[in-house]
Amino acid sequence: MKPNYSHDMAVSFSEILVPIAASLTGALSAGYISFVAGRSMRLHEWRLALIRERMTERRQIYAKFIGESDHNMFELLDGGAKSLGNIKPLLRLFGEISLISSDAVRDAARQVCDAALRANSAENETKEPDHYSVKKAFLDAARHEIATLEAETQGRPIWRRTLRIGRAKTSA
């Protein structure tokens, strides 16, 4: 005689549905967490790339601006003719700086342009205007702005970086 196992093997619908629902819930939760983590990672990488691009753009424009300022000053010191046409490239770069830079950098760049205007004016008889002091102020403002952007890429506030640099200077 054959044993009847059918009544022992009967599985209820809830016994099948609960593990399937748990598996699907776990898979959906893991998928959602993976999606959110991947999305935030891509967003963070995009933000860092954008900041690096901004830093590179600023470095290039600031270098051109200082180079043009120095070129103008050397032309004057070498006996070149004083002309407002000499500073057109400098003013064009100032316009670019005004669009992308902080107020501190823009104001320092304006001082460099003002010194170049004074140096190229016909009434000005001094050989060396305050070119080097305004150039230094511009460079300081530009370096601070770039350091701020660098701190953003490293995810820490600028004041922490400044404190670390300050400690290194005092201990040396």
Sign of torsion, CA 91 95 100 104? positive
Which of these, 1, 115, 6, lies nearest to 68 by C-alpha position? 115
Question: What is the reported pLDDT for 163?
Answer: 46
Question: What is the reported pLDDT for 107?
Answer: 96
In the three-class reduction of DSSP (H, G, I as helix; E, B as strand; rest coil), residue 81 is classed as coil
Question: What is the reported pLDDT for 63?
Answer: 96
Task: Give a yes or no: residue 16 inside a domain.
Answer: no
Single-letter amino acid, residue 97: I
Question: What is the reported pLDDT for 6?
Answer: 53
Question: What is the reported pLDDT for 9?
Answer: 61
Question: What is the reported pLDDT for 7?
Answer: 54
Question: What is the reported pLDDT for 166?
Answer: 44
CA distances from 148 to 85, 113, 118, 134 (A): 35, 24, 32, 21
Task: Give a yes or no: residue 51 inside a domain.
Answer: no
Task: Give a yes or no: residue 38 inside a domain.
Answer: no
* 3-state per-residue secondary structure call for 14-34: HHHHHHHHHHHHHHHHHHHHH
Residues of the chain with pLDDT under 50: 159-172
Task: Give a yes or no: residue 166 inside a domain.
Answer: yes
Question: What is the reported pLDDT for 167?
Answer: 43
Long-range contacts of range 106-112, CB-CB < 8 Å, 24 or more positions apart?
107/141, 108/134, 108/137, 108/138, 108/140, 108/141, 108/142, 109/65, 109/138, 111/137, 111/138, 112/65, 112/69, 112/138
Domain range for 92 is: 57-171
Domain count, the chain: 1
Task: Give a yes or no: residue 95 inside a domain.
Answer: yes
Task: Give a yes or no: residue 18 inside a domain.
Answer: no
Contact 98, 61 (CB under 8 A): no
The vertex-77 CA angle with 75 and 82, nearest 5°, equals 60
pTM of the model: 0.67
Question: What is the reported pLDDT for 103?
Answer: 95
Task: Give a yes or no: residue 72 inside a domain.
Answer: yes
Question: What is the reported pLDDT for 170?
Answer: 42
